[in-house]
């Protein structure tokens, strides 16, 4: 009886290992939102060319989003808003502002979306960072320039997830900065 159980167990494991298929994995990386971003899809429903095309469509939308919500790109809508070149926020920025203001309330003001002038003053994300004077810091805090860096990548990740679903992917990892 024991020999029969062992033989059954061996055949069960052998059969199970033959039926397990390795999931196809495709990974794509881009530099966006000031950091290295990656999308890894598992078990792609497409061949390599179609998967690549689908991922490129997602990346195209992420580039377009960055052009709407970046406070550091001179040709972005938010940069133009912060510098008085346009007077209204796009819908993505309006949404991010509402989310940011909720976090500002929840943290008693410790979190704020109005830090673009301060980030710029410190040279964050540039080749020439510096420590500004106390007077410069206080003056920059009076400005109300928006920076969605703290919430923008999460928002972008959510949009990427939805786009991947629409493209037919059911399993993926979206890493936009950790």
- The per-residue pLDDT string of the chain (178 residues; one tens digit each, 9 = 90 and over) reads 544 444 444 444 444 444 444 568 999 999 999 899 999 999 887 788 899 999 999 999 999 999 999 999 999 999 999 999 999 999 999 999 999 999 999 999 999 999 999 989 999 878 899 999 999 999 998 999 999 999 999 999 999 999 999 999 999 999 998 6
CA 120 from chain center: how many Å? 21
Residue 82 tokens read as 């912060």
Strand pairing class (172-176; 25-32)? unpaired
Enumerate helices (H) and strands (E) in the chain, giving the number of each: 7, 3
- Distance in angstroms (rounded) separating the CA atoms of residues 56 and 64: 12
Q: For residues 78 and 140, what is the distance between their CA atoms, to the nearest angstrom?
A: 18
The tokens describing 55, both together, are 């991922």
pTM attached to this predicted model: 0.82
Distance between alpha carbon 155 and the CA centroid of its chain, in Å? 6
The H or E element that residue 37 is part of is strand 35-42
Q: Strand, coil or helix: what is 48?
A: helix
CA angle 106, 111, 114 (to 5 degrees): 125
Alpha-carbon distance 164 to 92, whole Å?
Answer: 19
């Amino acid at each position: 009886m024991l020999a029969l159980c062992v033989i059954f167990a061996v055949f069960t494991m052998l059969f199970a290992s033959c039926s397990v298929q390795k999931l196809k994995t495709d990974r794509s990386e881009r530099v966006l939102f000031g950091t290295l971003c990656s999308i890894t899809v598992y078990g792609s429903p497409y061949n390599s060319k179609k998967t690549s095309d689908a991922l490129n469509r997602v990346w195209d939308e992420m580039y377009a989003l960055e052009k709407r919500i970046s406070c550091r790109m001179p040709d972005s809508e938010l940069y133009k808003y912060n510098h008085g070149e346009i007077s209204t926020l796009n819908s993505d920025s309006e949404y991010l502002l509402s989310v940011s203001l909720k976090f500002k309330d929840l943290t008693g003001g410790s979190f704020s979306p109005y830090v673009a002038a301060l980030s710029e003053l410190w040279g964050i994300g540039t080749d020439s960072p510096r420590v500004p004077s106390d007077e410069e810091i206080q003056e920059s805090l009076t400005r109300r320039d928006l920076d969605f860096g703290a919430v923008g990548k999460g928002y972008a990740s959510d949009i990427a997830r939805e786009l991947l679903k629409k493209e037919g992917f059911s399993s993926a990892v979206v890493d936009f900065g950790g």
